[in-house]
Amino acid sequence: MKERHFFAGNNTAKGFYSHFDHIINLEDAKHYYILKGGPGVGKSSFMKKFASIMSSKGHSIEYVHCSSDKDSMDAVVILELKLAFVDGTAPHVVDPIYPGVVDEILNLGHFLDDTKLMKYKDEIIQTSKAKTHIYKSAYRYLACANLIQEDIHSIYDQMTNISSFLKLSEEIIHEIFHLSDSKDDGKKPGNIRKLFSESYTSDGYISFTDSLCAERKVWSIRGNNTNFTSRLFEHVVLEATKKGYDTECFYRPLNPDKIQHVLIPDLNLMLRSDEDKGYAKADKVIDLGSLMDRSKLNSLSHDIESKQLQYDSFISHALQQLSQTKKLHGSLEKIYVGAMDFKGVDQTFESLVAKYQ
């Protein structure tokens, strides 16, 4: 693996939701640089440039994208060096936990000329407030969409045969771990890493799920309209953890309490939830719809379609709101860029790169 792309934070029905504490294990990390400074000071560019240099040297890179702007980085991880950079500013404020031995703050705001910023004080305050207001509006729409989705899920859940689901879960778990070189019971429990592979952003709904499936065995779980998908993943993760396997759990961008996809790296296996059509390149397809009473579902099709239209409308409004934040953020960046001494940033960058040559 040379590079991977995902999110550590997300715009959800619960507001901004962060899994930044899963970007890197601080106890194993060699160094964790926390970049501070306002919009436009070059944090994302700093990280991308460093990652590019490390990639050219053959290192594997994890690119953690910003849920507000997919082209910006919230973090980058250079795996072989156990090294990470993270944007430590709001809404994902990050501060040192092990200062001096792991964490270090790089304050790019140090190179700002405050005197140039002061004449834009009122504009900065008003634009920042407007941006916050729009985010709150987007989160309200996402919360409404989540309520409708839960209503839809409840219909499908009621039509699912629970005993058949439990039997299927046991069969899936047996197949995953029986056919693998399973680790012995009694080993140290596996770790769970929590991330997002999909996100509602200012550029629309963005997914890196397909790229994460590349060159892996993929099992496609059909039945996206039921909570039993997430329950199945919970059972698999519990068993994997007991057997000592690390897992990466990618959570739903709308409801971050529910697992959307599961990766078991040691087995090179991705379990992904899909719509009814499934994932075209899947090695195995598991249809949870087969556990449902289709005749009863068909009798409720009009009600489901009506709720789906409501859901789609709320999501559309949320994305419209999020799209407005990009323009406001751009206005703030323009102000800060004009007050920056980027020569100072470049010098900091060059001195840091020299440490890892």
Tell me: do 99 and 191 sit in the same domain: no
Tell me: do 164 and 288 sit in the same domain: yes
* Residue-level pLDDT at 325: 96
Tell me: do 259 and 346 sit in the same domain: no
* Residue-level pLDDT at 262: 98
* Residue-level pLDDT at 186: 58
Flag whether 117 is in a domain: no
Share of the chain above pLDDT 70, in %: 97
Q: Give the closest residue to 149 by CA, choosing from 289, 294, 252, 25.
A: 252
Tell me: do 170 and 241 sit in the same domain: yes
> How does pLDDT run across 149-159, given as a tens digit for each residue?
999 999 999 99
* Residue-level pLDDT at 124: 97
pLDDT of residue 77 exceeding 60: yes
Per the prediction, the chain carries an average pLDDT of 94
Tell me: do 286 and 205 sit in the same domain: yes
Flag whether 14 is in a domain: yes
Flag whether 331 is in a domain: no
Q: Which helix (H) or strand (E) holds 7?
A: strand 3-7
Tell me: do 108 and 164 sit in the same domain: no
Flag whether 220 is in a domain: yes
Share of the chain above pLDDT 90, in %: 90
Q: Between β-strands 103-107 and 31-36, what pairing exists: parallel, antiparallel or unpaired?
A: parallel
Flag whether 313 is in a domain: no
Amino acid at 130: A
DSSP3 helix / strand / coil % (the chain, rounded to 5): 45, 25, 30
Collapsed DSSP state (helix, strand, coil) of residue 136: helix
Tell me: do 174 and 279 sit in the same domain: yes
Domains held by the chain: number: 2
Tell me: do 246 and 171 sit in the same domain: yes
Tell me: do 104 and 176 sit in the same domain: no
Range of the domain at 30: 3-112+341-355
Cα three-residue angle 132-135-137, rounded to 5 degrees:
110
Flag whether 199 is in a domain: yes
Tell me: do 346 and 249 sit in the same domain: no
> How does pLDDT run across 149-203, given as a tens digit for each residue?
999 999 999 999 999 999 999 999 999 997 555 455 557 899 999 999 999 999 9
> How does pLDDT run across 321-330, given as a tens digit for each residue?
999 999 999 9
Tell me: do 283 and 205 sit in the same domain: yes
Flag whether 314 is in a domain: no
Q: How far apart are CA 259 and CA 209, in angstroms?
A: 13
288 neighbors 226 (Cβ within 8 angstroms): yes
> How does pLDDT run across 6-41, given as a tens digit for each residue?
999 999 999 999 999 999 999 999 999 999 999 999
Flag whether 155 is in a domain: no
* Residue-level pLDDT at 349: 96
Tell me: do 99 and 219 sit in the same domain: no
pLDDT of residue 110 exceeding 90: yes
* Residue-level pLDDT at 184: 53
Kindly give, in sequence order, each residue whose CB lies less than 8 Å from that of residue 207, ignoring residues fewer than 6 positions away.
197, 198, 199
DSSP 163-224: HHHHHHHHHHHHHHHHTTTPPPTTSPPPPEEEEBSEEEETTEEEE-HHHHHTTSEEEEEE-T
pLDDT of residue 241 exceeding 70: yes
* Residue-level pLDDT at 32: 97
